[in-house]
């Protein structure tokens, strides 16, 4: 299948490109290196440098014998999008191309404005391009579990039947997010759901939890094909960051009570979720939603696991509670469904001791690169 | 109170400015004349020319002895917004500044993009300006009943308590709109609700139905102070358009079965709803939602009323069913609550024979101006 990956330079974008390419799909990636630019501007660059898309494509060609096309440009610019879609004519689009950091979106007005315009602008152009160049193509959109927030009821997969005063209807599950970044993903959902109804688009919205890890089947033995590995407060996801903190002897930063519970998944599972979604597309006129995670943990539980991992590997790891700079519940009910992807055949890679030990061992090799000032900035929500 | 009206040149913006000014408030208006530009570009200009804001402010000063300040510029530009907020320091902001037409938003990709960027850009800048210059100010945002769509359950005022698997929580009432324009208003709500929670803004979201009418207390006897009166498919609301069609001998265009039911209100009621909301502000950290209409009618009922109005006034009015260019239910359940504004003291001006007759009489004086080609364009949703 011809698959176009928007945001193909990112933490998940490039690994997804290799994974789909390895399985025989014809893959192209598009990116404007926004994440690299923002990381540099905020002095929170990744743990090790990664080659650019042209270089990565060459490395992959040499390793796997498959071509990955790359388009470098801003997906908010219609001309760029139109030229690419008319040339590549994708049958499926994976849409990762968003400013992906909650703290960045709360940094200041300019960062908020960039997040809002980039995320909605790319989603809108993606919809318009599908409509114009490949109306039957399947859009696989990365949403986030954070769209749901932490409601006091069970979280279903995207939809909820509501009975009210003796009448019934089915609606999108209520969404109320904890950051502007997460809110733009809700707004993306509004847009996609509208055009699914009106134009009959076929869309899968993957409500993903925080991802961790570095190794995938496709980069075994070749660290030049690693994804970005951010470990900072802004762009680093929590497990990756905690592992780096453990290596750096920097106490694990737990915000407030640490009872914040979320659903997590291994990067290898992300790739399989995307592939399973593409290989089993929804019908036209359907917005299919999956909750994409494999296990739930509280921040305290994660800190304990990383603490124990450090101990197994001869590191003394401290855990430190910080006043919470965010606005979120620190103790709450959390019971989200996540059966859809399992039914499609997902076989989870859980957060075992081996998985954490392997990640720690890899980070240890790059310990000289760690910028301690990147780890905690205390970006305040209020 | 110092009140800033964003979109102060529009159908409702200017009448609101005069109404609040007449009640002793200090009023400023801001607009970039976008609506005028788009009406001209689409050749669907209003029934009669209206003076620009500088001229209207002079006319009002001469009539009422009150100053209305005007700021001309694009509210998507932060510099303009910041300069205005820092100078005027509003205590309340009325936010009408959106591309307000559903058919326009469905016209083509460029119109859709303009709608999305304008509507969300202005709302975001309004929020950021309040945060920076007047954090205690009250934002009165014009939403639309169209955000709810036509669900199969009773529509409450903004909020819904949901019981699911034995647990309960309160959420925004589910929203799923029938056009991109209406969808941008849902996205506005997402944004406002997020910043209400995080920054403690005080916001009233007025879910307004289609407005009709021309006369208000403030323009009696001075037609130079009339609002824009669009009667075309793009910018004209249905009752105003039907009255013009009756005058022009143009059969009333009913889309499909005509069972589409909505809540309507007289322009005088809009002004009172805005004033009552401002004079009774919500608390900080509160997103208050009112459903702003006074009566519900199906399109068939409206057509009948305008038909009868024509007959009373010696006009033969035909009603013609057209294939529906939109994607909407033509027969549906519709039972929206609307008690909040009545409790604040709203005394509705219903759609009586006198009200329709007065509107028809006014339009008759401008009958030579009617551009029959503006009335129906058949802009398709799909």
Q: Is the CB of A124 less than 8 angstroms away from the CB of B132?
A: no
pLDDT at B289: 98
Q: pLDDT by residue (tens digit) across A236-288?
A: 999 999 999 999 999 999 999 999 999 999 999 999 999 999 999 999 999 99
3-state helix, strand, coil in chain B (%, to 5): 40, 20, 40
Q: Which CATH class is domain A2-373?
A: alpha beta
**What is the full DSSP assignment across B293-336?**
-SEEEEHHHHHHHHHHHHHHTT----EEEE---S---SS----B
Tokens 């024979």 sit on residue: B353
| Angle of the B53-64 helix axis to the B13-22 helix axis, nearest 10 | 30
Look up tokens 């193909």; give the residue.
A8
Residues in chain B within 8 Å Cβ distance of A173: none
Q: Which of B153, B171, B199 sits opposite A382 (nearest CB)?
A: B199
Tokens 């990709």, residue located: B109
CA atoms within 13 A on the CB side of B197: 18
Which residues of B are catalytically annotated? 144, 181, 185
Task: Give the rounded percent of residues in chain A with a pLDDT score beyond 90.
Answer: 99
Give yes or no: A144 in active site: yes
Q: Give the CA distances from residue B336 to residues A253, B49, B157, B193, B257, in Å, rounded to whole numbers and listed in that order.
A: 48, 36, 8, 21, 21
- Residue A221 pLDDT greater than 90, yes or no: no
CA distance A70 to chain B (A): 26
- What pLDDT was estimated at residue B286? 98
Q: How far is A101 from chain B (nearest CA, A)?
A: 16
Please list, residue by residue across A111-137, b when 16 or more beta carbons sit within 10 angstroms of its beta carbon and e when fewer do: bbbbbbbbbbbbbbbbbbbbbebbeeb
Whether ipTM > 0.85 holds is yes
DSSP assignment of A127-159, as one string? HHHHHHH-TTPEEEEEEEGGGT---SS-B-SSE
Instruction: Please state whether beta strands A295-298 and A286-292 pair in parallel, antiparallel, or not at all (unpaired).
Output: unpaired
Cα–Cα distance, B296 to B288 (Å, whole number): 22
Dmax (CA) for chain A in angstroms is: 64
- Say whether residue B133 is in contact with chain A using an 8 A CB cutoff: no
Bridge partner residues of B212 (DSSP): B266
Write out the DSSP string of A246-282. HHHT--EEEETT---EEEEEEHHHHHHHHHHHHHSPP
| CB-CB neighbors (< 8 A) of A78 in chain B | 109, 113
How many C-beta neighbours within 10 Å does residue A10 have? 25
Question: Token pair for residue B207?
Answer: 């879910």
Residues in CB range of B23: below 8 A, 6 or more apart: B275
Structure tokens given for B89: 């320091």
- The answer to whether residues B57 and B67 touch, using CB atoms and an 8 Å cutoff, is yes
The reply to whether B79 touches chain A by the CB within 8 Å rule is no
Q: Is residue A191 within 8 Å of A120, Cβ to Cβ?
A: yes
Partner residue facing B168 (CB), from A152, A169, A199: A152
Judge whether A238 is closer than 8 Å to chain B, CB to CB: no
Nearest CB to A154: which of B167, B175, B176? B167
- CA angle, residues B20, B104, A147, in degrees to nearest 5: 80
What's the CA dihedral at B231, B40, B96, B241 to 10 degrees?
Answer: 0
Phi, psi of A326 (to 5 degrees): -95, 170
**Chain B residues closer than 8 Å to A180 by CB:** 194
A81: phi > 0 → left, psi -120 to 50 → alpha, else beta; which? Answer: alpha
Does the beta carbon of A283 lie under 8 angstroms from any beta carbon of chain B?
no
Half-sphere exposure in the Cβ direction for B375 (13 Å, CA): 20
Chain A residues in contact with B116 by the CB 8 A cut-off are: 120-121, 124, 191
Nearest CB to A169: which of B151, B171, B180?
Answer: B151
Helices (H), chain A: 13-22, 34-41, 53-64, 78-88, 102-105, 109-133, 180-199, 238-248, 267-279, 299-312, 340-343, 353-365
Query: CB count, 10 Å around CB of B345?
Result: 11
Catalytic residue among A16, A115, A123, A144: A144
Distance of CA B297 to CAs A215, B70, B220, B325, Å?
Answer: 61, 37, 27, 20
Q: What is the dihedral of CA B18, B22, B28, B31, to 10 degrees?
A: 0
User: Distances from the Cα of B244 to the Cαs of B306, B356, B372, in angstroms?
Assistant: 10, 11, 9
A197 touches chain B (CB under 8 A): yes
Query: How close does chain B come to A143, measured CA to CA in Å?
Result: 15
Chain A residues touching B146 at Cβ < 8 A? none
Mark which residues 144-163 of B lie under 8 Å from A by CB. 151-154, 160, 162-163
Q: How far apart are the C-alpha atoms of A226 and A222, rounded to whole Å? A: 7
Among candidates A153, A160, A183 on the partner chain, residue whose Cβ is nearest the Cβ of B191: A183
**Which among A113, A120, A151 has the least Cβ separation from residue B116?**
A120
Q: Is A11 a catalytic residue?
A: no
Residues in chain A within 8 Å Cβ distance of B186: 190
Return phi, psi of residue B262, to 5°. Answer: -140, 165
With CB atoms and an 8 Å threshold, state whether A116 touches B124. Answer: yes
β-sheet with B295-298: strand ranges across: B211-212, B261-266, B295-298
Between chains, do B162 and A153 touch, taking CB under 8 Å as contact? yes
Residue B172 contacts A, CB cutoff 8 Å: yes
pLDDT in tens, A366-382: 999 999 999 999 999 98
Q: Residue B197 burial (CB < 10 Å; 0-12/13-18/19+)?
A: middle
Please report the pLDDT score of residue B266 as a whole number: 98
Reported residue count of chain B is 382
Per-10-residue mean pLDDT for chain B, 382 residues long?
Answer: 98 98 98 98 97 98 98 98 98 98 98 98 98 98 98 98 98 97 98 98 98 97 95 97 98 97 98 98 98 98 98 98 95 98 98 98 98 94 91
Does residue B283 belong to the interface with chain A, where contact is any CB pair within 8 Å? no
Contacts A146 to B, Cβ<8 Å: none
Looking at CA atoms only, how far is residue B128 from chain A in angstroms? 7
Buried b (16+ CB within 10 A) or exposed e, A205-239: bbbbbbbbbbbbebbeeeeebbbbbbbbbbbbbbb
Find out whether A336 and A145 touch, Cβ atoms under 8 Å: yes
Q: Topology of B2-374 in CATH?
A: Rossmann fold (3.40.50)
Cβ atoms within 10 Å, residue A273: 26
**Cβ B329 vs Cβ B377: under 8 Å:** no
Q: Are strands A92-95 and A138-144 parallel, antiparallel or unpaired?
A: parallel
CA distance B181 to chain A (A): 11
pLDDT tens across A148-199, in order?
999 999 999 999 999 999 999 999 999 999 999 999 999 999 999 999 999 9
Distance between CA B92 and CA B82 in Å, rounded?
A: 16
- What pLDDT is attached to residue B221? 87
Domain spans of chain A? 2-373
């Amino acid at each position: 299948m011809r698959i176009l990956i928007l945001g193909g330079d990112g933490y998940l974008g490039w690994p997804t490109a290799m994974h789909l390419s390895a399985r025989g799909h014809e893959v192209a990636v598009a990116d404007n290196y926004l994440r690299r630019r923002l990381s540099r501007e905020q002095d929170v660059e990744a743990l090790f440098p990664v080659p650019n898309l042209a270089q990565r494509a060459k490395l992959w060609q040499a390793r796997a014998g498959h071509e990955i096309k790359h388009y470098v440009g801003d997906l908010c610019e219609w001309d760029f999008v139109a030229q690419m879609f008319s040339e590549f004519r994708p049958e499926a689009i994976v849409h990762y191309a968003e400013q992906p950091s909650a703290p960045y979106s709360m940094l200041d007005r300019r960062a908020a404005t960039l997040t809002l315009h980039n995320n909605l602008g790319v989603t809108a152009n993606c919809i318009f391009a599908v409509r114009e160049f490949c109306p039957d193509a399947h859009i696989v959109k990365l949403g986030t579990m954070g769209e749901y927030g932490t409601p006091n009821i069970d979280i279903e997969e995207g939809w909820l039947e509501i009975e009210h005063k003796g009448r019934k209807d089915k609606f999108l599950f209520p969404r109320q997010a904890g950051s502007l970044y997460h809110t733009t993903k809700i707004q993306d959902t509004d847009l996609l759901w509208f055009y699914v109804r009106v134009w009959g688009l076929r869309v899968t919205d993957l409500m993903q939890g925080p991802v961790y890890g570095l190794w995938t089947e496709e980069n075994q033995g070749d660290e030049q094909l690693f994804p970005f590995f951010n470990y900072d407060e802004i762009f680093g996801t929590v497990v990756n960051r905690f592992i780096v903190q453990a290596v750096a002897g920097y106490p694990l930063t737990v915000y407030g009570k640490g009872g914040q519970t979320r659903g997590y998944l291994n990067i290898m599972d992300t790739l399989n979720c995307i592939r399973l979604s593409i290989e089993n597309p929804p019908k036209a006129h359907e917005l299919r939603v999956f909750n994409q995670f494999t296990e739930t943990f509280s921040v305290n539980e994660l800190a304990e696991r990383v603490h124990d991992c450090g101990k197994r590997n001869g590191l003394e790891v401290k855990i430190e509670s910080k006043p919470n700079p965010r606005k979120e519940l620190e103790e709450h009910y959390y019971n989200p469904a996540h059966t859809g992807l399992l039914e499609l055949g997902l076989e989870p890679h859980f957060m075992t001791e081996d998985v954490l030990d392997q990640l720690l061992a890899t980070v240890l090799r790059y310990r000289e690169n760690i910028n301690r000032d990147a780890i905690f900035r205390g970006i305040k929500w209020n």
